[in-house]
Amino acid sequence: MGRFFVGAAQRIIRGTPLYYVWVVFLLIMIAIGIGAYVKQMRLGLIVTGMTSYVSWGLYIGNFTFLVGVAAAAVLLIIPAYLYDFGPIKDIVIIGEALAVSALLMCLMFVTADLGRPDRAWHLIPGLGILNLPRSMLGWDIVVLNGYLFLNLFIPGYILYKAYNEKPVNMKFILPFILLSIPWAVSIHTTTAFIYNGLAARPFWNASILAPRFLASAFCSGPAMIILLFQLVRYYTKFHVKNEALFKIAEMIAIAMAINLFLLGSEFFKELYSDTHHLSPLEYLYVGLQGKGRLVPWIWTAFTFNIIAFVIFLIPYTRKRFVTLNIGCVLIIIGIWIEKGMGLIIPGFIPATLGEVWEYAPTLIEVLVSIGIWSIGALTLTVILKVIIPIELGEFTRTTKMAA
Amino acid sequence: MSKEELEKSGRISELQDTRGSGPTPDEVEQKELIDRRMFFQGAAGVLATMMLGSCSWQEFFQNNFRRMTKGEIEQTVERLKAEYKQKYGKDFVVGTEGPIDATLFGYALDLQRCIGCRRCVYACVEENNQSRDPQIQYIRVLRFKDGEMDLEHSTIYYDPEEVPEKGHYYIPVQCQHCANSPCTKVCPVQATWTEPDGIVVVDYNWCIGCRYCMAACPYMGRWFNFAEPVIPADKVNVNTHYLGNRPRMRNVVEKCTFCIQRVRKGRYPACVEVCPVGARKFGNLLDPESEISRIIQTKRVFRLKSELNTQPKFYYFFSI
Ligand code: SF4
Ligand code: SF4
């Protein structure tokens, strides 16, 4: 074990100049983020743009988006383990590394949003009180931590065997792999239910919310994975077949089609019935009572999503890396807006007694968020730096490290 | 909020709206100046701030009120009293009176009489030690045009020479003490619950500040202390209850408790007492002879957003 840590540490410390630039850049961003967070801790959430009208903002928006990214790891597990779809199998572990980083960011975003993180121990069953089965937030904490465990345990086990140059005992690990599939669905569904269950907020209180969450998660998460694999392939000897990437892109097209269909259904219901439940949607897409800070954002998201959908739908553009990558970037931004601020903020507008009170994140919120994203990116970088050599068989118990 | 202050600012709606809600840009800027030094203190700073910056070890490990033993409650109350004495230079009463047997508190508001004077709003602020900066007010008096009851067309920003205004009527809204309360259901740590006498309370020392309850409440019954609450020492009310109007800390949720510190001693809530036209009625729903029960039996009553099945114990009625 000691040998492993020494070897891993050496691999993390050594790298190309570009690697050092990247890590130092992330560390600076993290330091700034921590500085901003210290200030938030000292003065209270007053340094954020949140109010008693719009009581959740950028943090919870990012949280929601990242739960989707984490859940998307199933997309790789299903075909890879169950159908033994060759090309994907090699790379599933990297997908799970992405899931782990995304989950860490989720937990940090929730913590950043908490007014009293010093009392987070109140959430620990036994020591504190976790309000189960009633609180959806309680459930979300359970399923997120369970998912984090699974995504650490499964690749951990496989890599441990690879490191020790022993075969994987599939009988032992398969039940965990099977379990992780419904679990991935559950983290995203439970997160949707946090909002979905609130009758006070008609914008969220629609049964379509959970399915839409899943559909959009299957767009953004895999898009990130396509980009990540290309980077990994470029910078290491790790091999990923084009075929696998195109397969993932195909799945994104299907998920996006479902997402757009559900959006259309939502629009029809609200527009045709034309009740007061239309107001949040109005606020989001055209503005309400002269206020419409989110309008340009949501139309950007809408346009990006449509363009990306077309790119992924047509085999010609899907199979060209230039267009494929443009599509991925567009879809990540599009879903980030739609599922982040575009979902959270209109839930609060108009407020429950009818007022239209807008929200905009402050610099502090933006810096803290960038800090958390940087911690996530650094985590991912470090994990990949260790596990890729193991996957490649370059880093095992018997490898000699240069002194 | 006085009229002059509003006019000076030239931003009537915005100024009123900062009530217990968020920072004004000036506030933030000022605070940024003071705290620029803090900016790069790093991880040690976070830890120190979290652990020690705002609270003692006893406070850190303080249990949920409902799980405390008698002895623990006594100790906590003593500690709180000492804390408040230090902060405000006054001796506080921090009551822990339990619910009265065979009592379920209910409230009724006479829309025919309410003149929209907002005296209840201010009496509530004083009685319940709400933060003056940033401002928190539990009661919102909504003004409607005659012939309309659409919340989206109502406003709290009215400031006439004289109330009531012609062609308008008023609906004050505060926590409705729902029997089927979504706010207590969603709280991940049971920091908020319904007492046996029907009062929905918050344990300010147990709340983790996630604000899920605020998202769940359909009536804007909950307010968040976005900054350290400020109450001038000469304005602070020293007759408090643990689950009610004792001074709060920053980053926790608070709400109307029907003046638990008063009603459990047989007094009326402050808003009931102060209302100049007697529009506010309060009493025991379980007693068929109480005024509140008689009103519900004999008048035309309704409850806000009854379609949500929150079952408020707060009724609106028409006296004639
Ligand atoms: S009005 Fe709001 S805060 Fe009061 S009990 Fe009902 S849901 Fe809870
Ligand atoms: S803000 Fe406090 S009272 Fe409200 S749900 Fe969160 S922990 Fe519970």
CA of B222 to the centre of ligand 2 (A): 10
Low-confidence ranges of chain A (pLDDT < 70): 74-75, 79-91, 400-403
Could you tell me if B145 and B26 lie in one domain? no
Q: Is residue B81 part of a domain?
A: no
CA of B192 to the centre of ligand 2 (A): 7
A271: exposed, middle or buried (Cβ count in 10 Å: 0-12, 13-18, 19+): exposed
CB atoms A279 and B31 under 8 Å: no
* Residue linked to tokens 């369970």: A146
Q: Residue A35: what pLDDT? A: 97
Q: Which of B84, B74, B109 is nearest to B229 (CA)?
A: B84
Q: Is residue B82 part of a domain?
A: no
- B216 in Cβ contact with A134 (< 8 Å): no
Contacts of B38 in chain A (CB under 8 A): 35, 38-39, 42
CA of A236 to the centre of ligand 2 (A): 47
Rounded Cα gap, residues B173 and B138, in angstroms: 8
Q: Is the CB of B191 under 6 A from ligand 2?
A: yes
Low-confidence ranges of chain B (pLDDT < 70): 1-55
CA of A148 to the centre of ligand 2 (A): 25
Q: What percent of chain A has pLDDT over 90?
A: 69
Q: Residue A89: what pLDDT? A: 59
Q: Is residue B73 part of a domain?
A: no
Query: Which of helix, strand or coil describes residue A286?
Result: coil
For the stretch B259-274, pLDDT in tens is 999 999 999 999 999 9
Determine the residue type at A289: Q
Q: Is residue B140 part of a domain?
A: yes
Length of chain B: 320
Q: What's the pTM?
A: 0.90
CA of B200 to the centre of ligand 1 (A): 7
Q: Residue A83: what pLDDT? A: 60
Q: Residue A396: what pLDDT? A: 86
Q: What is the signed CA dihedral for A40, A41, A43, A45, rounded to 10 degrees? A: 60
Q: Residue A247: what pLDDT? A: 85
CB atoms A50 and B41 under 8 Å: no
Q: Residue A68: what pLDDT? A: 93
Could you tell me if B63 and B189 lie in one domain? no
Structure tokens at A322: 């230039």
Q: Is residue B96 part of a domain?
A: no
Nearest CA-CA distance, residue A169 and chain B, Å = 39
Residues 6+ apart with CB under 8 A from A102: A66, A67, A69, A70, A221, A376
CB atoms A45 and B219 under 8 Å: no
CA separation (Å) from A119 to A122, A126, A132, B210, B266?
6, 14, 18, 11, 35
Q: Whose CA is nearest to atom 6 of ligand 2?
A: B210
Contacts of B150 in chain A (CB under 8 A): 276, 354
A153 close to B (CB below 8 A): no
Contacts of B151 in chain A (CB under 8 A): 353-354
Q: Which of B174, B170, B112, B115 is nearest to B143 (CA)?
A: B170
Rounded Cα gap, residues B183 and A83, in angstroms: 45
CA of B254 to the centre of ligand 2 (A): 9
- By Cβ distance, the residue of A34, A45, A347 closest to B46 is A34
A36 close to B (CB below 8 A): yes
Q: What is the extent of the structural domain holding B14?
A: 3-68
What's the ipTM? 0.92
Ligand nearest to the CA of B222: 1
A2-391 belongs to which CATH class?
mainly alpha
Total domains present in chain B: 2
Q: Is the CB of B181 under 6 A from ligand 1?
A: yes
Structure tokens at A140: 């979300």
Q: Which of A349, A207, A359 is nearest to A279 (CA)?
A: A349
Nearest CA-CA distance, residue A134 and chain B, Å = 6
Structure tokens at A168: 């994987």
A398 close to B (CB below 8 A): no
Q: Is the CB of B221 under 6 A from ligand 1?
A: yes
Domain ranges of chain A: 2-391
Final residue before a domain boundary, out of B13, B39, B68? B68
Query: Which of helix, strand or coil describes residue B192?
Result: strand
Rounded Cα gap, residues B136 and B255, in angstroms: 10
Q: Residue B57: what pLDDT? A: 84
Query: Which of helix, strand or coil describes residue A247?
Result: helix
Rounded Cα gap, residues A334 and A216, in angstroms: 10
Q: Which residue among B217, B257, B311, B313 is best mutated to probe the pocket of ligand 1, counting the most ligand atoms within 8 A of its Cβ?
A: B217
Q: Is residue B151 part of a domain?
A: yes
CB atoms B228 and A44 under 8 Å: yes
Contacts of B309 in chain A (CB under 8 A): 199
Could you tell me if B63 and B173 lie in one domain? no
- Closest-CA residue of B relative to A196 is B216
Q: Whose CA is nearest to atom 8 of ligand 2?
A: B187
A272: exposed, middle or buried (Cβ count in 10 Å: 0-12, 13-18, 19+): exposed
A208: exposed, middle or buried (Cβ count in 10 Å: 0-12, 13-18, 19+): middle
Could you tell me if B32 and B172 lie in one domain? no
DSSP-assigned letter for residue B36: G
Could you tell me if B219 and B278 lie in one domain? yes
Q: Residue B230: what pLDDT? A: 96
Q: Whose CA is nearest to atom 2 of ligand 1?
A: B217
Structure tokens at B4: 């002059």
- Closest-CA residue of A relative to B52 is A118
Q: Is residue B313 part of a domain?
A: yes
Q: Whose CA is nearest to atom 8 of ligand 1?
A: B183
Could you tell me if B46 and B178 lie in one domain? no
A3 close to B (CB below 8 A): no
Rounded Cα gap, residues A63 and B52, in angstroms: 28
Q: Is residue B20 part of a domain?
A: yes
